[in-house]
Homo-oligomer: A and B are copies of this chain.
């Protein structure tokens, strides 16, 4: 039985389409989570994350936990900041707002800087905010899945280092890791949290993250204990270090099948230069943006430099309803997502273009989607003005 039996192309901004070999790894026979076979696989997977994030600093610490991408926010909020401390949250949509909620849950005091819808906070206002108060950390959503706005991580770290060098810079890379460039060491990032089911191309169920030596020192110097149990770096750090050293270790049972699938996905990604992968995502994204523009449609991320290469959020033409266009796309074998940003949710759709749909030359997902979009809009009565 082929697991990839005929099915529509899933082109939402995650979960994405998965490669056959990755899905087959999900069916791996049962193994002990502390047996030598799985320990070697898990250890190798952790080490491959260092390559994916482009960090060679041995003090950098990768984590792979069973959970959703959201669990990464808990990892940051319960370990790297203490109750009463301030966090500056740069928000470009739904996910920035939610990260602030998570920080507040664990007692931190988030201050939100929001861009206009489809835009992002600008460096002068970020620098001003940082100069007015001492922030333990700054969080930024690299690509906000609700808007498709990409933030400039490299520029952000430079701005923070200039005004408030002791502030940690933490990026939510759920919708960016493995498709947008992230040079962890070179850029001076302190943390990137992500999930398995987007550009990494492994089914959902893993929270994946990388923290700098400086972030780990910040954790070790906490005055209060970690504010979460399952998301405690105290509980997990020795486990991750042991697995990477190929030593069995136990805090909570990891998912061998998901880790096998992640191992396969990372091997596929790292078999080619990362720069090539990022370039391919950029080219395909540029092509999609042009096609959307040629159709006379507006992109939610207003300025070209704010548009991510992972996805495109597209305003529907006046009079076209999401409830009409999504089923029409579906009947053509293409699945897009509806809107998520509360203020504009009914007015736009989201097209994810990550992973094998972009990199596998044997797939026709993107062209099929662009054709389906054009035809579906025409069926909804839309003609370019």
Q: Mark A265-309, 1 if CB is under 8 A from B, else 0.
A: 000000000000000000000000000000000000000000000
Least CB distance, A145 to chain B, in whole angstroms? 10
Choose the segment among A6-14, A42-50, A180-188 that binds chain B (4+ C-beta atoms closer than 8 Å). Answer: A6-14
A35 interface contact, C-beta 8 A: yes
Roughly how many angstroms separate A251 CA and B102 CA in the complex, as a whole number? 12
- Residues from chain B with Cβ under 8 Å of A221 in the complex: none
A31 interface contact, C-beta 8 A: yes
Which of B32, B226, B231, B337 contacts A230, CB < 8 Å?
B231
Query: Chain B: which residue is nearest A174 at the CB level?
Result: B253
Choose the segment among A62-70, A126-134, A370-378 that binds chain B (4+ C-beta atoms closer than 8 Å). Answer: A62-70
Contact B68 A252 (CB under 8 A): yes
Q: With A32-B12, A33-B15, A204-B256 in contact, is A67–B66 under 8 Å at CB?
A: yes
- Residues from chain B with Cβ under 8 Å of A106 in the complex: 229
Contact A71 B67 (CB under 8 A): yes
Contact A227 B105 (CB under 8 A): yes
Query: Chain B: which residue is nearest A12 at the CB level?
Result: B32
A325 interface contact, C-beta 8 A: no
Contact A67 B230 (CB under 8 A): yes
A86 interface contact, C-beta 8 A: no
Roughly how many angstroms separate A67 CA and B232 CA in the complex, as a whole number? 13
Least CB distance, A342 to chain B, in whole angstroms? 12
Least CB distance, A236 to chain B, in whole angstroms? 11
Roughly how many angstroms separate A229 CA and B193 CA in the complex, as a whole number? 16
Instruction: List residues 8-29 of chain A with CB under 8 A from any CB of chain B.
Output: 10, 12, 14-18, 23-24, 26-29
Q: A-B pairs with the 7 shortest C-beta distances?
A: A205-B255, A3-B27, A70-B252, A68-B252, A26-B26, A102-B229, A23-B27
Could you give 25 example pairs across A and B, Cβ below 8 Å?
Answer: A3-B27, A7-B31, A10-B30, A15-B32, A15-B253, A18-B30, A23-B27, A24-B27, A34-B337, A67-B230, A68-B252, A68-B253, A70-B229, A70-B251, A101-B229, A197-B255, A203-B257, A204-B254, A204-B255, A204-B257, A205-B257, A227-B227, A228-B228, A228-B231, A230-B230
